Structure 1
Amino acid sequence: MAWSWPGVDLATLDPTMVIVSREPGGRWYVTFAVDVDQPEPLPTTSREIGIDLGIKDFAVISGGDRIANPRHLERKARNLARYQRRMAREQRGSANRRKARTRVAVAHRKVRNARRDFPHKTSTTLIEQADTIVLEDLAVANMVKNRSLAKAISDAGWAEFRSRLEYKAARAGRHLIIIDRWYPSSKTCSTCGHLLPELDLGTRHWTCPACRTRHDRDVNAAKNILAAGRAVAGKNPGHACGADVRQQGSSLLRSAVKQETPAARRPA
């Protein structure tokens, strides 16, 4: 059987570095590493964006755009549960059970591939659209301890999305800024800076009592996330409190002392 791969001379590959594997769903994979040239930095766009990650919408951009949450597991959970019930009914060791096990593995593979595909495409689009991207440092490991939200948070894939942004920003010459997870982005007015003492999760819109600006909760948070990133990057000092902001990509790391009222503080 002759192998070919665009741009790669397979005859030069070290056979000891080629891995052939088969997954439970029946697909075969050949894995090997090749050296490629460092890509050229992307052309500048003169655009900066802040991103507020969520569950209802996967992401809300500071300009007002929304990226829908694909809910991969939720959409395929019904089929997966049906295949698992069929497998449980089959006799152990039988051919029908092996077939049912393969169907379950294929269903899991589709969810896994969809989860990988979505953050890749979304992060690539955002990297192409903006020179600077600001994101919150979400404590995903702690958030999934909430049983009512654990499945939805895991399905959203925030951690994988962030890791994709990190290496793509460095490769493309973009700036990725991570702001502190406790920065009160949702309950701070992006117009005048007024900080609400409390804002429950069920409140999707609110009006600033100081300047009377009407806010969409998620868009307002994305605007504040961008402002915090700008503040510590020195582009708009004094406009927002930048707390423990880390800038990644082609620029040096930056940090700032967090400044917020005691009522807004939370334990680490």
Structure 2
Amino acid sequence: MDERTVGVVVRILPNPEQREGFHQNFGCVRKAYNETLGKYNALYEKDKSIRPTYTFLNKLMMESKKKLPYLDAMESTSLQQSIRDLSRGFDNFLKNRHFNYPKFHSKKENRNSFRQTIPANKKIINKNKLSLRRYGEVRFRTSPEYMELLNSSDIKFNNVTIAYDGIHYYAIINITTDLPENLPLTGEKIGCDINSNINGWLVTSDDVKEFFDINHENQMIKHINRLMSRCRKLSRRWKKLQKRLQKWYNKRTNKLKDYIEKLTYNLVKEYDVIVFEENYATIKILIGGEQNMVFPLSQFIQRLKNKFELYKPQAEGVVFVDAKNTSKTCHHCGHINKELDVKTRHWICPECGEKLDRDVNAAINILNRWSPGDSLENTQ
């Protein structure tokens, strides 16, 4: 059977000594990355022919370890992985113009994390305990489904990333396992119109409107920010409110991720073809009241593609069509209402008298413009 590589996220419960060691490693990984990037930049200024290969960058990092003894005291594979990330950043920059030149990591802008490699054929999971180099066994929590998967003898462990979000500690365990069974083909297809969240951010040709509500989370974030503005910075109350604020940020992010995962799976399970307008990446969807959050459309559609590849590789999957005049064209008779403005959500076709919902009508037209085998490439 074919294999796939996946990451399983579990919440870990380190003891005080392990937590202290994690934070030391977070700082050392960031320091090794920044020292290596700084040294390469200085050398490149003198000699433009120097290439940022992993071997060369790792050599620069080893020189830093000699001058900074505390780096040498850290777990070695996590430092090497940070240099591998830097090397990958340079490769992306040199090969693709959409990637930026690698930047220095700051404590504020970059998440606290480090990654350890795992020797071949080594099992690092024993029931509810995760074995880490240097730090020993750490208890973790996860769902019964993932607990069974991680304790299975059929998987291969590749690496593990330890991360801290300001409140909780997590382990992202990279494993290789068998592909899941394919979902059966349904023969169903659907058109999707991207819209504002007020009228349903996603409207389908089946007259289903998807809403995503994080207004409560946004209001709590706004409220806590207001309370923090009245406190002296770094005071005991300010620090307490900061943790509370981080908690609500995490809730909002997790709610969004969970929503995307569940919705994409359900769509892939029910439909074989999902048709979108080709310019979806240029549309911003604002969610909530005064504090808006832009819905990650590109991430949503990429997850759809991934799930089709994983669960229904034989299906047509996600396709794109030209969406010009799909809102203004009556799907019943084909008449184009050129006088239709953006604010009008419901209209009656002057040609055939059909009552139309602007967004559902657009979704039906998007579906009708697709024929099997035809698709426009995403230009993003």
TM-score normalized by structure 2? 0.54
The 3-state SS of whatever aligns with 1:197 is: coil
Distance 1:216 1:119, change over 3 A: same
Q: 1:145 to 1:34 in 2, by over 3 A?
A: closer
* Uncovered stretches (5+) of structure 1, i.e. residues with no partner: 235-243, 248-268
User: Do structure 1's residue 3 and structure 2's residue 129 form an aligned pair?
Assistant: yes
1:28 to 169, 172, 175: 169
Give distance in 1, aligned partners of 2:182 and 2:231.
55
| Structure 2 counterparts to residues 185-264 of structure 1, below 5 A | 185-230=326-371, 233=373, 245-246=376-377
CA contact (8 A) 2:221 2:249 kept: yes
Aligned positions of 1:36-115 closer than 5 A: 36-55=177-196, 56-67=199-210, 69-72=211-214, 74-115=215-256
Is 1:71–1:156's contact at 8 Å kept on the other side of the alignment? no
8 A Cα contact 1:229 1:245, kept in partner: no
TM (normalized to structure 1)? 0.75
Instruction: Give the distance between the partners of 2:290 and 2:339, measured in 1 at CA.
Output: 24
The residue type equivalent to 1:209 in the other structure is P
Aligned-partner Cα distance in 2 for 1:227–1:213: 17
1:151 to 1:222, Cα distance in 2 relative to 1, 3 A: farther
Number of the residue aligned with 1:165: 304
Q: Distance in 1 between matches of 2:221 and 2:291?
A: 15
Question: Conserved in 2, the CA contact under 8 Å of 1:119 and 1:157?
Answer: no
Instruction: Identify if the C-alpha distance between structure 1 residues 103 and 10 changes in structure 2 by more than 3 Å, giving closer, same or farther.
Output: farther
Q: C-alpha displacement at 1:43, in angstroms?
A: 0.5
Helix, strand or coil at the partner of 1:20: strand
Contact kept in structure 2, 1:3 and 1:10, CA below 8 Å = no
Q: Which has the higher contact order (CA 8 A, sep 6+)?
A: 1
Write the letter of the residue equivalent to 2:160.
V
CA distance in 1, matches of 2:270, 2:303: 15
1:177 aligns to what?
319
User: Is residue 144–residue 151 contact of structure 1 (8 Å, CA) maintained in 2?
Assistant: no
Taking only the aligned residue pairs, the percentage that are identical comes to: 26
Structure 1 residue runs of 4 or more that deviate by more than 3 Å after TM superposition: 9-14, 142-146, 149-152, 154-157
**Counterpart position of 2:257:** 116
Q: What's the secondary structure of 1:177's corresponding residue? A: strand
Which amino acid is 2:376 matched to?
A: V
Q: How far does residue 225 in structure 1 lie from its aligned partner after superposition?
A: 0.7
Query: Which amino acid is 2:181 matched to?
Result: E
Higher share of residues assigned strand: 2
- Between the aligned partners of 1:151 and 1:159, the Cα distance in structure 2 is 21
